[in-house]
Amino acid sequence: MNKANKKELGVGIFFAVLSIFYIAESRNVSTFTPFGNRGLDSQSIPAMIGWLSIALSAILIVSTILKDRKERKGSVEQQEQICDPDQVACIDPPKGAKLQGILQVVPLKLMLSLLFLFFYFLFYQRIGFILSSIFYLLSQSFLLTEKGKRKKWALFIILFSIGVSVLIYFIFTRYFTLFLPRGILG
């Protein structure tokens, strides 16, 4: 199965599993029909959404499998003319190829960005807006700066992170009357 079809199949399976879970969970929803059930209750729409999703996932899965079979049939016919399976040598993938493959799908910068975001929100209320924002801006800006240029940018990024965090805090709390957590600085 080629990459595009694998992706389509993955999408179909994901939605099918999600829909099954969703329908199962919708049965736990309490219903309230004091005047008799003349229409739908609180379970009905989730059930409708779930069943429709299952039907559409099934269509996606089946159509992808059929499409793949059709494509394979065509490619096998072509391969039969140009390739002798006995003469094909098996070559081990180079070292680190698996990790490279994962990083191609989910780049390291993306994973680290998510991690920084997670810690930023985790400590947002605990250590306060100013400190958590300084740490976040510092780490994320350094991460996005090209490796060779980090030294050149260091001073600017540090001053920018501190200055912007303090400035935003004062502008928002003083002039826009929003509440932002003070944390350990409060």
Partner 1 sequence: MFGMLLEGFGAVFTDPLSIIMIFIGTTVGIVFGALPGLTTVAGLSMFLPITYAMSSGTGLSMLTAIYIGGMSGGLISAILLNIPGTPSSIATCFDGSPMAKNGQAGRALGLAVFASLIGTAISLLVMVVLSPTLANLTIKFGPWEYFSVTVFALTLISSLTGKSIVKGLLSALFGMMFATVGLSPIDSAKRFTFGSLQLTSGFNLLAVLVGLYAISEVLSTAGSEQQKAQVREYKMRGLGFTLKDIKGQGINFVRSSLIGLGIGILPGIGGSTSNIIAYSVAKTSSKHPEKFGTGIPDGIIASEASNNASIGGAMIPLLTLGIPGDGATAILLGGFMLHGMQPGPLLFQSNGATVYQIFASMILSMIVMALVMYLGMRVIVKILKVPANILLPLIVVLCAIGAYALNNRVFDMWGLILFGVIGLAMSKAGIPAPPFILGFILESAFETNLRRGLEYSNGNFLEVFTRPISATFLVLAIVSLAATLYKQYKPKKATSEE
The binding site for partner 1 (CB under 8 A) comprises 7, 10-11, 15, 18, 22, 25-26, 29-32, 37-42, 44-46, 49-50, 52-53, 56-57, 59-60, 63, 105-107, 109-110, 113-114, 117-118, 120-121, 124-125, 129, 133, 136-137, 140-141, 143-145, 153, 157, 160, 164-165, 168, 172, 175-181
Minimum CB–partner distance for residue 150 and partner 1 (Å): 10
Per-residue CA distances from 21 to 14, 50, 51, 173 (Å): 11, 9, 11, 43
Nearer to partner 1, 76 or 115 (CB): 115
Is residue 137 within 8 A of residue 161, CB to CB? The reply is yes
Q: For the stretch 19-32, what's the b/e string if a residue is b when 16 or more beta carbons lie within 10 angstroms of its beta carbon?
A: beebbeebeeeeee
Q: Which is nearer to partner 1, 24 or 83 (CB)?
A: 24
Q: How far apart are CA 75 and CA 64, in angstroms?
A: 16
